Structure 1
């Protein structure tokens, strides 16, 4: 939807200058001579963009404090995660917003189908972290190449994939490798079971068909290149890097409102599949062209690591359409938590305990 947050009387030249000024406010410069973005500190840029988009949740601290752990609330050897689906009620929305405020990159609301979870600790019922899953980007070369998809195969089976757009632990659980534990919850049978229950009677937005509601594949992108969360973690596999195109440095700095108002309605309203990021990229490109700016502005060079976490043994054959039968990997909650302890916690228990008590 177009909202008139920006003066509709602004000329195209004024809009163009506003966009360039907003980029410069975050340390991003457009070189007309070189026809490319110049950005010198990606982490600082993303941190400042995150401050703008994520920080509102901090105001809810007093409302959600009962769900937050102190270091003294945690016995590392008794951490016992359980998932709670995020509902629309105010208390859940406040807690989600507060937890999201710890992220150092701008966080969107997810696209299309969306499943969000709080991960609480059974020993104290305090929040360990959060997990957000949403519809995947339609066009992602690194994923499509690694799966071996043709265009038709992808349109048939993208329905059976989700992307983790936010995943991690909040303080103080982040000090004890809690984010690795959150990444393991993606494999809890509850996730694929909830997916099946939620979407088994719904038609696909792309095809209009009622497809098999099997969640066979979850993926994600590291914020800054590779991520320590997924490094050497069971069933999470690094594939390759993205090409470095992004819209966040433009949409998260306030320029989205400036651009979308000058995009013709017949182009703006062409989205499908739940207003996904591909749609936003198309609108941005159309808007930049309208303003006489190069679409190369989207090539900022933020190469992000692409990771996948297949939930089925025969995920590749299933996603290629070579079989309609799905064979699940043998993941159980208790075994995954035990793995977290044996592989990541017990060998570092003294160090992690010291970190926790020193915080």
Structure 2
């Protein structure tokens, strides 16, 4: 190994150690003691990636609620699609500063929403959808059960919620559960249809029916309280614990890119974001004489699904081309949130509303 590669290798190991992760060269194993350490690592990585938006505080604070702005019994959400204009980008960037895990930008197709409260036009939270990972065992085997060919035909009809949550003070009021319910608003699948109705699939080149059939997401640490016992959100199983965030979010991505041949980078195809990055990382680690096991950090994350159609499995398996939508209305979903989660806890939630703001996850 030449001198430059040895320097890069040592710098990557130092970056891991700075964030509390030990690489055991003999065992080819990442060493993290317990779940609390995982949380500390993620929080430290988030401080590096998420805090840039704080510079926009003065521009966006008019959208951030104070406790006195909120009558809990009158919370009523509405969605605004995030656009490229500056004020939207500033508000999105600022909202992500409350997350305690690194926030990515998503991959491929993206639809992002602000969730506002109609009673005061303040921001409840945010949610972002992006293209799903092409290879995800817990989805492919445990949830849908499709073949490779079936997946290539109908993965187009799936999206992943790569960020979802409520910001203070709504995060003290079970606001994240409300944000998760907004993905079932008819507006979301209608927006998806309008945005992609004349857009051929990048992977297959075919102009497919842009029906948003299936949304999934991952809990940050194991299972997530957001989706627990929540209408139409089902826990399926856990992921295997491979990740690249502990490497890419700590500054090592730029280092690894230096040792990967240029022609390997040119293998990227739109729609392959996460899978492509994992391939690049594995190649880079091999070039440096490091094991691919460095990606196996053990962050097992809970996998959740939110089907929008009654016959979602039949459609995704290609057994039918007809969609039978689940009959969710915005009004019914908001009423469910109030009746199931808010009214029985109203007194204690009023106390929570006076608590100081905290991070999201």
Same fold (TM over 0.5): yes
Q: SS where residue 113 of structure 2 aligns?
A: strand
CA distance in 2, matches of 1:42, 1:354: 30
Superposed displacement of residue 58, structure 1: 1.4
1:189 aligned to 175, 186, 189, which one?
186
Q: SS where residue 47 of structure 1 aligns?
A: helix
CA distance in 2, matches of 1:243, 1:334: 38
Are the equivalent residues in 2 in contact too, given 1:72–1:357 (CA < 8 A)?
Answer: no
Name the structure 2 match of 1:22.
15
Q: Are 1:12 and 2:44 matched, yes or no?
A: no
Superposed displacement of residue 202, structure 1: 0.2
> CA deviation digits over 1:188-226, x for unaligned, max 9?
000000000000000101100100000000000000000
Are the equivalent residues in 2 in contact too, given 1:50–1:105 (CA < 8 A)?
Answer: yes
Are the equivalent residues in 2 in contact too, given 1:13–1:291 (CA < 8 A)?
Answer: yes
Superposed displacement of residue 275, structure 1: 4.7
2:47 aligned to 34, 51, 54, which one?
51
Superposed displacement of residue 14, structure 1: 0.5
Superposed displacement of residue 358, structure 1: 4.1
Q: SS where residue 11 of structure 1 aligns?
A: helix
Name the structure 2 match of 1:36.
29
Q: SS where residue 103 of structure 2 aligns?
A: coil
2:259 aligned to 259, 262, 266, which one?
262
Listed as ranges, the gaps of 5+ residues in structure 1 are 1-8
2:124 aligned to 128, 136, 151, which one?
128
Superposed displacement of residue 167, structure 1: 0.3
Superposed displacement of residue 118, structure 1: 0.2
- The runs of at least 4 consecutive aligned structure 1 residues that moved more than 4 Å come to none
Superposed displacement of residue 10, structure 1: 7.2
Name the structure 2 match of 1:97.
93
CA distance in 2, matches of 1:70, 1:188: 26
Q: Are 1:246 and 2:243 matched, yes or no?
A: yes
TM-score between both structures, scaled by the size of structure 1: 0.97
Superposed displacement of residue 273, structure 1: 3.1
CA distance in 1, matches of 2:263, 2:318: 35
> CA deviation digits over 1:53-105, x for unaligned, max 9?
00111121111001110000000011110000001011100100000111111
Q: Which moved more, 1:242-251 or 1:35-44?
A: 35-44
Q: Are 1:271 and 2:260 matched, yes or no?
A: no
Superposed displacement of residue 344, structure 1: 0.1
Superposed displacement of residue 274, structure 1: 3.3
Are the equivalent residues in 1 in contact too, given 2:203–2:271 (CA < 8 A)?
Answer: no
